Amino acid sequence: MEITLLVDLAVIILAGTVMGCLAKTLKQPVIVSYLLAGLVIGPLGFRLIANTADIMLFSELGVAFLLFAVGIETDIAKMVRLKGTIIGGAMLQVFLTAGIVFGIMQAFAMPFMESVYLGLILAFSSTVIVVKILTSRNEVSTLHGRLIIGFAVVQDALAVLLLPVLARPETIMQLNVAATFFLSIFSLFAMAYLLNRHVLPKVLRYFANTAELFYLIIVSVCFLFISLSVFFDFSIAVGAFIGGISLSSLPYNVEASSKIRGLRDFFSTIFFVSLGMQIGLGFGNFPVVLLLIMLAVVYILNPLIYFLISLFAGYGGRIAFLIGMALGQASEFSFILASQALALGQMSQSAYSVALLVITVSMMTTPYLIENSNLVYNRLEHVLDNILSPAKRAYLRQRLRKLEKLPQKKDMKGHVVLVGAGVFGSGLISLLKSYGTFIVVDHNPHVVTDLIEKKQHAIYGSPDNDEVWEKVSLEKAGLLIITIPNIKEAVGLIRRAKKLNPKIVVFARAHYYGDALKLYESNADFVCMPHVIGSNVFLRKIADFMETGKLSAIVNLEEEYVQFLREKAKEEKKRLGF
């Protein structure tokens, strides 16, 4: 039995690895390759897995670790700033979608509880998928990234509350059962709060320099909440997510997230492959028209609802469209809901198979939808402009206007445009203040807000947003400085700038030699590789000392540098609590 399980795990990991490498070679999303790997080794493929029941336990752990990681990366404080939009919008979308689907299912004489489950299965979007994709695209901190994750996290919270309710629908209205349920949920969140406030900061501070113990403490937190969720008769994914939240606001959350990445990726690979294994074509007597309606709900209705919610919240057409496209899939909680319904006899096998097909197909297509969403919107933008008057367009962009402070048009000639105000870019701002008009473009709304509060010219935007470059008058700029890490966006921006303004001078930053070469091939005038420059200076100083034997040749700025390090070390100590 144990040997069979090990063989099954080996098959799953090997299949996921081979398909993942193939996807990377073909420049396709890795998540898609895992689902296809499951399809290949599953019942529709070579049937290489002997015992799927045991594999499902590892699959559940995959969901748990994915949601634990999502919980760690969920910045509750920043989400609270968008609370009106994300909480109200997510709840409206979930109940609107679930209500519409429930009504359609009842019209087709589907069982009551099955209709309820199918409505909720289609209503939720995947936090795991969107976080994974946004992270790979460096868009987690963007305005649309935070709204997308915010909507998905609120959905997860609703799913957490609904899972136990749906498991005991006939008893949950009883006062004692309802009281026990809410007390259990409260206990989990109370435990997370107490650990976050009084235990974990001290424990992690003490063991932060011991990598092995730090890692074990993080994993122990996950399993502690998994155990508590089992004790309270909840899904282990519920406990793992709340456990992640207990770490989210600590100064060690980035380190914690990176420490469990290997474990998360291992179990999440099993989850996605096993999900692909369960795809079947045995739909029984389930109406094909309902399958098509379910796909339409995921791909059209949900994105449309989120598009309208975000548009009327004042985030503009582009951000609203990006949000809608990103949330056009079913969730990992949809899978948990479907599994629970089947196990409790609240859903037929045919409905379960159809739900699973919709979940996996929608997850597989999400990377392509997100990748091409800006391109699609660029082609549809004029349609929205033709429909709406300038006054209405301005009203629908009211939130974005707060993230925009630009010089007068007459001052935008020969000016400097700095794209990216991160660690590297922010160091340039103090220098640029002495050289006339400059404008900062960044896709982090909090960075832009801080700059505007400091009376700096800044605008929220990304390199593929045509409207931003019109507003900053890129065609009249004298200097363009690009510090963003996304080489594809940087190359596209350089080509756009040189086409609009052949005389513009472009400075860019690169991390890899190949990226630097691509920037030069795109007509960048100067490309800086900070680590290479630092390495060259280090080698030159060693050579100077070896040749002269005099320390005076290398310590000319030692005092200033040491003072700088003291200040930065003090900030680091305050931030990390060392």
- Separation of CA 25 from chain center: 23
Q: Can you give the pLDDT at residue 556?
A: 56
pLDDT band, residue 567 (cuts 50/70/90)? confident
Contact 318, 381 (CB under 8 A): yes
What pLDDT was estimated at residue 386? Answer: 79
pTM here?
Answer: 0.82
pLDDT in the model for residue 578: 46
Residue 557 vs residue 138, higher pLDDT: 138
CB-based contact 550:560 (threshold 8 Å): no
* Percent of the chain clearing pLDDT 70 (strictly above): 90
Higher pLDDT, 450 or 426: 450
CA–CA distance, 181 with 172 (Å, rounded to integer): 8
Contact between 477 and 416 (Cβ < 8 Å): yes
Q: Measured between alpha carbons, how far is 138 from 127 in angstroms, rounded to an integer? A: 16
H-helix or E-strand spanning residue 182: helix 175-194
| Inter-residue contact 131 to 141 (CB < 8 Å) | no
- Considering the segment(s) 2-387 as one domain, its CATH architecture is Up-down Bundle (1.20)
**Dihedral angle sign, alpha carbons of residues 344, 349, 353, 358:** negative
Closest-CA residue to 268 (of 129, 411, 170, 136): 129
Q: Express each pLDDT in 465-496 by its tens digit.
A: 888 999 999 999 999 999 998 888 999 999 99
- pLDDT of the residue at 108: 94
The predicted pLDDT at position 378 comes to 83
Residue 392 CB: number of other CB atoms within 10 A? 11
pLDDT of residue 553: 55
pLDDT tens-digit series, residues 287-332: 989 999 999 999 999 999 999 999 999 999 999 999 999 999 998 8
> Whole-angstrom Cα distance, residue 31 to residue 43?
20
pLDDT, residue 506, reads: 94
From the list 452, 6, 30, the residue with the least C-alpha distance to 272 is 30
Domain 405-528 has CATH 3.40.50.720: yes
Rounded mean pLDDT of 215-227?
Answer: 94
pLDDT, tens digit (0-9, with 9 covering 90-100), for 493-514: 999 999 999 999 999 998 888 8
Q: What is the mean pLDDT of the chain?
A: 85
User: Do 246 and 319 touch, CB atoms closer than 8 A?
Assistant: no
When mean pLDDT is compared across 43-52, 213-222, 258-267, the lowest value belongs to 43-52
Tell which wins on pLDDT, 59 or 76.
59
Report whether 335 contacts 356 (CB < 8 A): yes
Give the model's pLDDT for residue 81.
Answer: 65
Burial of 523 (0-12, 13-18, 19+ CB in 10 A): middle
Structure tokens at 514: 């190949």
Burial of 405-424, coded b for 16+ CB within 10 Å and e otherwise, reads bebeeeebeebbbbbbbbee
Query: What are the boundaries of each domain within the chain?
Result: 2-387, 405-528, 533-576
* Tokens 């793992």, residue located: 240
Greater confidence (130 vs 304) lies with: 304
The pLDDT of residue 369 is 92
